Amino acid sequence: MKQGEVRVRIAPSPTGYFHIGTARTALFNYLYALKTGGKFYLRIEDTDKERSEKKYEEDILEGMKWLGFTYEPEVLRQSERGEIYGKYVRKLLEAKKAYYCFCSKELLDKEREEQMAKKMPQVYSGRCRNLSEGEIEEKFAKGERAVVRIMTPLMEITFSDAIRGEVKFDTQYIGDFAIAKNADGKTLEALYHLAVVIDDYETNITLVIRGEDHLANTPKQILIQEALDLPRPEYAHLPLILDEKRAKLSKRFAATALSDYRKEGYLPEAMRNFLTLLGWHPVDDKEIFTLEEIAAEFTLERIQKGGAIFDGKKLRFLNAHYLRSKSDVELAGLLEIEVTEQNCKKIAAVKERMDTLSQFSILTDFFDALPEYPAERLIWKKSDKETTGKNLLKISEIFNTNNNFSQAKMAIETYAEEEGRGEVLWPLRVALSGKEASPGPIEIMEVLGLAESQERVKKALKNLGF
């Protein structure tokens, strides 16, 4: 490793779909690597065999790709590294910095209850700390299984967090925690904290940027580092993402899976922009930036300590902005529709009204098939049935006498100026779309063509009883 080289990582657990909070952590790590010219690693933390699933890992990889976050080619999977972890656990056992513990769940529960009653910290009592070699061998020979616990010295652990400043933990509340399980004297399964420490060490991670929910894990991981005499990386714990009532973000408030946003038709550039603002602030109040702009300005100092509120409206606003900045042809590509003149006209007609891609079909369905609508909808709020009918008859006549689009358009506009825009353009728009809200009538006519527009106006007249 080069002197001074920055190495960061994202270490998702594939126990659920790629979470929006993990995506934010990935982004901040990625930005930091971009800013410093450092390396960015992806590690799959699948030590929890029961809860980890391949489909979740695939979702994470897809999400990273969609967001455009590139990482170093060697992806670590903890499930493939059991032997490596085993070596470190054995080293700790040999150095008497860790020990086998055979206490049953019942015994541990009882101990915890007693501690609770005495208002003592609920940590492991250390009962198995002093088992002799002989006792251990005997238990293994009888087929008993053990966990391996690290010996935690009573002390205060202090570390400096780039966002939160100095953080202190008293180890009397941590106790001798397990670093491996299912030990039968020969094999064992490493547990989460141990795997994190070894992987960070073996990939030379210099800075751990992760969610605040991991803050309480840090002293445990530091204890393992110290027992193994490993260097300590720097830490930066990102603020929690909260809903508008300042509760932890949950599915009830907003989708928490990144893929849901992708399916809904959010653009990766909007999502990146949005996630950046979940805890980080630029020097000015600018809200819209490209990834390059953010990376240039990004510093850990500008990350807030307090919770970051998830503002769905802002996400839609940003998405609408990025959608509008696309050309019609680009949007056709994103919508996965053919680039025909007709489709481009449809896109142009609704682009300003879309804040997600999935709205396109809702906003344009009436082009292909006129929906049923109540006749009263044709009547503008300040008008009446008679005037509406009269105006639609006039429009129909314009269609009859002008077979060229721009002539028809001009004639309608002139008529609207004379009779009042609302009086003429409202019923025409409803006649063409059937909808309460839609693009303007001239834009719709452009997509439908004169013949179909005439058909729809005739239908409206019939609907009104003319």
Q: Which residues bind ligand GLU (CB under 6 A)?
A: 11-13, 22, 45, 196, 210, 214
- At what angle are helices 405-419 and 385-401 packed, to 10 degrees? 150
- Catalytic-residue membership of 385: no
Smallest gap from residue 78 Cβ to ligand GLU (A): 9
Between strands 39-44 and 76-77, the pairing is parallel
Smallest gap from residue 196 Cβ to ligand GLU (A): 5
Report DSSP letters for 8-49, one per residue. EEE---SSSS-BHHHHHHHHHHHHHHHHHT-EEEEEE----T
Catalytic residue, candidates 186, 245, 251, 313? 251
Nearer to ligand GLU, 22 or 343 (CB): 22
Residues 363 and 422: their CA atoms lie apart, in Å, by 21
Largest CA-CA distance found in the chain, in angstroms, rounded: 106
Residue 211 phi, psi (nearest 5): -70, 155
Burial call 6-37: b when 16+ CB within 10 Å, e when fewer = bbbbbbbbbebbbbbbbbbbbbbbbbbbbbbe
Nearer to ligand GLU, 13 or 388 (CB): 13
Nearer to ligand GLU, 22 or 438 (CB): 22
DSSP 232: P
Smallest gap from residue 25 Cβ to ligand GLU (A): 7
Smallest gap from residue 207 Cβ to ligand GLU (A): 11
Cβ-proximal residue to ligand GLU, closest one: 210
85 is written with which tokens? 């972890």
Q: Which amino acid is at 40?
A: F
Residues 184 and 181: their CA atoms lie apart, in Å, by 9
Nearer to ligand GLU, 237 or 429 (CB): 237
**260: nearest Cα among 188, 304, 315, 327:** 315
Residues with Cβ within 8 Å of residue 20, at least 6 apart in sequence: 241, 249, 254, 255, 256, 257, 258, 261, 275, 310
Report DSSP letters for 340-360, one per residue. -HHHHHHHHHHGGG-SSTTHH
Nearer to ligand GLU, 13 or 383 (CB): 13
Smallest gap from residue 242 Cβ to ligand GLU (A): 17
Residues 258 and 256: their CA atoms lie apart, in Å, by 6
Nearer to ligand GLU, 196 or 432 (CB): 196
Residues 365 and 444: their CA atoms lie apart, in Å, by 12
Smallest gap from residue 300 Cβ to ligand GLU (A): 16
Smallest gap from residue 151 Cβ to ligand GLU (A): 23
Tokens 């053919």 — which residue? Answer: 338
Nearer to ligand GLU, 47 or 276 (CB): 47
**21: nearest Cα among 263, 233, 213:** 213
Catalytic positions, please?
A: 251
